[in-house]
Amino acid sequence: MTTKSYHNNDFLNTAINAVETASGIILNASTRVIKEYKSRTDLVTNIDLKSEQIIKEIISSKFPTHSILAEESGLANNNSEFCWIIDPLDGTTNFVHDYPSYGISIALYENGVPLIAAVKELPIGNLYTAIKGSGAHCNNIKINSSYTKTLSSSLLVTGFGYNHGDNWKKNMKLFKVFTDKTQGVRRLGSASIDFCHLACGKVDAFWEYDLKPWDVAAGYLIATESGCLITKLNGDEYSIYDNQVLATNSLIHQEMISIINKTI
């Protein structure tokens, strides 16, 4: 069987198998040992590494010719049009502190276009999935972004990266102004889960600077398929390789852009 003869359902089933297997490893971890400090606050644990290893084994045993971009081991380039993008544990700081918002994020892109995505939200256990053109689901139930029409009645979520540079300062300003103009802004610490909460309407928008492709690859498709609009902070076209993202239920997008333009 050639790779092309696979159906998106086969890809999604492999991603689900991988996130569920990794989820078992993460939830049953008897130790949480910090193996590396990428910076003072950017941690890598034994479980990030174990999770990534098992996910890569599952994917490459099924699709040995595909490329894989994974956070901890980088790009395994097979010069394939297919590339799996993996965050084996998104929200490591939360995991280390047992704060209940972290997950596993896997997406498959074909020539830069997202085909399927799976995100497992832990420790609660929700499974978010999407197939391009077929909508997004949580635990097999179709999800939609919210119908909130105004910023004044919205709840937002953002995140702050490990690097406290110019973008971090700009985001402090945005955090302040949006906290003032909405019903609240949450900051949970797992970008893939933030996207999924947006996709199922728990929040009305998510924005952040300096995310990496593995933070956003799956969440981008899940949010898009649930009806969200995703751009850069100024409204320009967004790619998962950009260093800023604004994702909304689409209805409050323009209102947010106007405020962002006045604030930073």
Q: Which of 18, 68, 71, 19 is nearest to 42 (CA)?
A: 71
**DSSP secondary structure, 218-244, as one string:** HHHHHHHHTT-EEE-TTS-B--TTSSE
Name the one range near ligand IPD by CB under 6 A: 16-24, 89-97, 132-140, 239-247. 89-97
156 binds ligand IPD (CB under 6 A): no
Total residues contacting ligand IPD (rule CB under 6 A)?
A: 12
Q: In angstroms, what is the minimal distance from the CB of 87 to ligand IPD?
A: 5
Q: In angstroms, what is the minimal distance from the CB of 218 to ligand IPD?
A: 12
Which residues share a beta bridge with 157? Answer: 186, 206
The dihedral built from the CA positions of residue 201, 122, 16 and 162, taken in this order, carries a sign that is: positive
Structure tokens at 213: 């492709």
- The binder of ligand IPD chosen from 67, 92, 145, 154 (CB under 6 A): 92
Q: In angstroms, what is the minimal distance from the CB of 188 to Ca ion?
A: 12
87 binds ligand IPD (CB under 6 A): yes
The region, left, alpha or beta by phi > 0 then psi within -120 to 50, assigned to residue 227 is left
Q: In angstroms, what is the minimal distance from the CB of 44 to ligand IPD?
A: 8
Question: Alpha helix (H) ranges present in 92-165?
Answer: 92-97
Residue 189 touches which member of Ca ion, ligand IPD, none, C-beta under 5-8 Å by kind: ligand IPD
199 contacts 250 by C-beta, under 8 angstroms: no
Q: In angstroms, what is the minimal distance from the CB of 17 to ligand IPD?
A: 21
Name which of 29 and 81 has its Cβ closer to ligand IPD. Answer: 29
Nearest position to Ca ion, beta carbon: 90
52 binds ligand IPD (CB under 6 A): no
Q: What is the DSSP letter of 182?
A: S
129 binds ligand IPD (CB under 6 A): no
CA separation for the pair 116, 213 (Å, rounded): 15
Pick out residues in 201-240 that bind ligand IPD (CB under 6 A). 211, 215
55 contacts 18 by C-beta, under 8 angstroms: yes
190 binds ligand IPD (CB under 6 A): yes
Name the one range near ligand IPD by CB under 6 A: 86-94, 123-131, 172-180, 198-206. 86-94
Residue 44 touches which member of Ca ion, ligand IPD, none, C-beta under 5-8 Å by kind: none
208 contacts 245 by C-beta, under 8 angstroms: yes
Q: In angstroms, what is the minimal distance from the CB of 74 to ligand IPD?
A: 14
205 contacts 148 by C-beta, under 8 angstroms: no
Nearest position to ligand IPD, beta carbon: 159
Q: In angstroms, what is the minimal distance from the CB of 208 to ligand IPD?
A: 6
Q: How far is CA 118 from CA 33, 86, 132, 182, 218, in A?
A: 26, 10, 12, 30, 6
Judged by the rule CB under 6 A, the positions of this chain that interact with ligand IPD are 87, 90-92, 159-161, 189-191, 211, 215
